[in-house]
Amino acid sequence: MLKPILAANWKMHHGPTEARAFFRDFLAHTPRVTGRTVVFFPPAITLRAVQEALQDRPEFLTGVQHVHDQASGAFTGEISAGMARDAGARMALVGHSERRTLFGETDEATGRKCEMLLRAGVIPMLCVGERLEEREQGMTEQVVLRQLEAGLAPLDAAQAATVLIAYEPVWAIGTGRTATPEDATTVHGAIRRWLRERVGEKAATMAILYGGSVNRGNAKLLLAAPDVDGLLVGGASLDPSNWTAIVNA
């Protein structure tokens, strides 16, 4: 997968009709993108509309924001990793801070989800990040490495090396407060050192994305920071013009 990776997390925004309108505008202003990977994580119910809008633009990938940790069963409202793959998702977010805090996604569940996704042929993007009080207590590294360890726990080294990592400090998500490029590099460096212990040499080529209030004004600087291999973007990915600027940053 080509780096940098630019990922759009639409959260609970843009149903099929809004997605079609988004792509009419975005594609008209975005000539063929090369040398980078761009992936959209729309709401699952919008995935089909996004894929149809992108059918002549195979350089863009799609994924889902969430899967259940079981293959099937009586889990009303949920979707499985296998269903996501069947619907054409190439990637899935795992452990986004909103899933952890609002929906009780545990560290252990993130591990099971990564395992189910890889078994189904979907690449997990494992999100990790500390809360503000944890940062203020000097616990950033401890929290991030704990989440990483749990998310990759069921995987052998070769499988773990295929997972994408997104460092998203919780205090920066949707707040307008962005980590500095230096902050991002510090934490990404700690993640990469930990990954080297866990998966060996392949850690050097694994992608570690930064997320948290990325916008068209700060994307270029963040992307240029050492050890930052891409960006996971929420709010600013909803607007075609902002997203075009970030994709080309």
Q: Which of 96, 105, 115, 188 is catalytic?
A: 96
Question: Catalytic residue among 68, 105, 168, 188, which?
Answer: 168
Q: Toward ligand PEP, which CB reaches closer, 99 or 198?
A: 99
Helix (H) or strand (E) holding 166: strand 164-167
Query: In the complex, what is the shortest distance from the CB of residue 168 to ligand PEP, in angstroms, rounded to a whole number?
Result: 5
| Closest distance of CB 234 from ligand PEP, Å | 2
* Number of residues in the chain: 249
Q: How far apart are CA 52 and CA 180, in angstroms?
A: 37
Residue 5 neighbours by CB distance under 10 Å? 22
Q: Which is nearer to ligand PEP, 148 or 199 (CB)?
A: 148
Which residue, 9 or 37, is less far from ligand PEP as judged by CB? Answer: 9
Q: Annotated catalytic, 96?
A: yes
Residues that bind ligand PEP (CB under 6 A): 9, 11, 168, 173-174, 211-214, 232-236
DSSP 20-72: HHHHHHHHHH-----SSEEEEE--GGGHHHHHHHTTT-TTEEEEES---SSSS
SS3 label, residue 214: coil
Active site residue 52: no
Which stretches of 153-217 are DSSP H helices?
157-160, 181-199
| Shortest separation between residue 11's beta carbon and ligand PEP, angstroms | 6
Residue whose CB is less far from ligand PEP, 30 or 242: 242
Catalytic residues: 96, 168
